[in-house]
Structure 1
Amino acid sequence: MAGSQDSQDLGKALLRIVLGVLILMHGIAKLTGDSGIGFVSKLVADVGLPAWVAYGVYIGEVVAPILLIIGLWSRLAALVVAINMLFAVALVHTKELAMLSKTGGWALELQGMFLGAALAVALLGAGRFSVGGINGKLN
């Protein structure tokens, strides 16, 4: 089964579902938290971008992860998550790019893993175990 289509599709499903759930938790926190989108709005304004750009965080952390979880338009959803992570690194974590954490890992290992997983899903697609199916649009 190691090289079978079933195991490959199961691996794709696992990757996109775990990525989707973990990113969605960040989106839910923004939807239900006290600060809402205020923190992101301030960051966007501080770099001179229009305020409406901040609402992209809801697309990248709520809509795209839901699409990943169900396996619909997964390649596009993964690209949105990847762009969201690039914005997060650029707006919040730039100073940590060359830093190590207290435990010796890269300070941005979580963001790096999210970015890498999103790019992997964008390249691999959703696989057969998805709403869109193996030949689904952008899957």
Structure 2
Amino acid sequence: MLENADLGKLIIRLTLGGLMLFHGVAKLFNGVGGIESMLAGYGIPPVFAYGVFVGELVGPLMVILGYQTRIGALLIVFNMLVAIALAHGNELLALGRSGGWALELQGFFLFTALAVIFLGPGRYKLKN
């Protein structure tokens, strides 16, 4: 009765997509000025900051809906790799104030999205 892989995949998809979506919505309402500045500091054209909407809005919606789920999860993986490389690289081996890994949130998004790529959407998805 408690063994339901498809329900488990749905829960993982909703958790990953839902929590990441909050980050995208925040950037939608507050802008990407901070990301533009950071990219400019690395010599990357600031217009690439708008790519965050792909990884934090489009990808999560695809994962939540179960539409092209693996592609949506791949967008999240790419988004997180860029975020870790550009904004959190100095914290890669650091501990947070409470003793956990400083990048546990970023790690959650990255590795859960990787798991979704390998697991697939399960039965509860949009037909594509």
Aligned to 1:11: 8
**What code does the residue aligned with 1:68 have?**
V
* Superposition pairs of residues 43-122 of structure 1, within 5 angstroms: 43-122=38-117
Alpha-carbon displacement from aligned partner over 1:108-131 (angstroms, at most 9, x marks no partner):
011001101000001111111011
Count the aligned residue pairs. 128
Larger displacement relative to structure 2 (42-51 or 64-73): 42-51
Structure 1 residue 2: deviation in Å? Answer: 4.8
Residue deviations 1:25-66 (CA, integer Å, cap 9, x gap): 000100112xx1111111122212233321110000011111
- In the alignment, structure 1 segments of 5+ residues that lack a partner are none
Partners in 1 of 2:110 and 2:8 — Cα distance? 17
**Gapped regions of structure 2 (runs ≥ 5):** none
TM-score, scaled to structure 1: 0.87
- Between the aligned partners of 2:89 and 2:46, the Cα distance in structure 1 is 21
Instruction: Write the distance in 1 (CA, Å) between the matches of 2:39 and 2:8.
Output: 36
Q: Tell me the C-alpha RMSD between the 2 structures.
A: 1.2
Aligned equivalents of 1:61, 1:12: Cα separation in 2: 20
